[in-house]
Structure 1
């Protein structure tokens, strides 16, 4: 069979030279709806924090209470004075010790007040920064690079690479969170909102009537942050040495339990079962002299009162310390230091009495 022949037919010149039709016009957009413009799209929510950031935050939170007891002990030891001397003269024995003695130390020398299980917001931030600093990517490069910031007396850590924030007072589920540049964030321990500015590695504060930035907080070294914290403890040592028990339940949101507060200038220890009702409490009270130095004998306790006070404090930790109360009270030996203070107070002021204000108005 012969192969088929190729066609030799050519298009006519009339069709070849015909002009091409113009491209179809784009459809017109529909007319805009009448009425006022709708609200602008809400800002995109930040991404969730990493699993290791949440794990570290919750581990520190559960591992020990918020407390100044270890820091007070550290300052007293740096002063060279005994616990008994401190109880007798809390201000005179500690005044200026942080700046005079501790400020020359590096952060590793200050490990007792941040590297273990107890502390305040600064301890929390620095410890988390060190723990997360151990994480590396597949190439061995660190994933996290945290800087510490002071937000009006409250210290937090923010990672310059991932924007992860470590804030011990966080009420966000999981604790750790991501704060990109330009997002305003409220922190539980401050009255203002803060926004991170990457170009200056600083936090800006709002709240000024003029609408302008009222304050900017730049990054601190770990030593600077810790000295600020210890100075804060030192300045309030006469009025409050708190220990607040805490835990993270399964829903991931922080919970706070009972509060034990030594108040040296009042010669007492407050035991508050519920932070929502701070006036409802037990008070372990030593007799105080009047302005002439006289002590009302009716306010003096006896050995039975002492036993009641000791038992009440032990039971308070068990009942109102939350699921980790007893372990948190024993963490870093803060219960031992509190016991030393208690014994010194009995030696100085006699036996205490227990006052019950659980039925006080809220």
Structure 2
């Protein structure tokens, strides 16, 4: 068995659902697409996307010595219907990927183990990346044949749907590249049609400034009032466009149970979290990184959308919060519920 075949077997043994190879220079279209995205302002407050744009646009510049990119997918497919919680306005809806432990830690450790194994097999150098580096992971994943970027701009596969984290191992080792995947979305527009905020200006384009995942996680300060009602009870992320993808009928169960959990809760209990309680409750969770103030802001928008007059008191208690954005969200929620 050659090194590539053994590498794929080792990756699957580690818990990845797929492993494919491409060259670092296999995505020449990325600079133009990235430039158009940034020029349109679709990145909103994510200023980091404008930094090191040469790296983000051309992986071969990130590490010129690299000869191969090993792209890997790890399933976090849910055990439940992620849209069901939207019918429970008393609960906070949390994106599936954040229900359990922070995937950055889990995937990176898995990548490092695989990279160490590769070094033991063949003399080479390696670098591992998962999400936090300026790597165009989705484009590389399509170039490697893992899947394709769908009309919702996320990666999906005919073999495992779209519930997967991506990671990469750059290496100086020459490995035979795989054929790129082609688009299989066809005429389907399910992901476009379900978006509550019309965040897709066109198929395969996302205006993050209207995306609920961006608004609840990345956006600092008050959310525009004309978008608040569309948030519903989503307090961290949004899975609507992912959940309706027909290719999820082939979703592969998550191999690591640490991705499953109950990160949400009732809006009433979440609204009263102070900084210490927030940090304790979400220790080890990706939710922790947005901080108490942004999280409670989101909870208050959900309270305002709940239609439950009983939640007016938790909101009223925050109308003079030390964080002005929280106080603004609380006053908005009180006004909404008082009008019932």
Shorter chain as denominator, the TM-score bin is under 0.3
Structure with a larger share of its residues in strand: 1
Q: Compute the TM-score of the two structures, normalised by the length of structure 2.
A: 0.27
Structure possessing the higher radius of gyration over alpha carbons: 1
| Greater helix content | 2
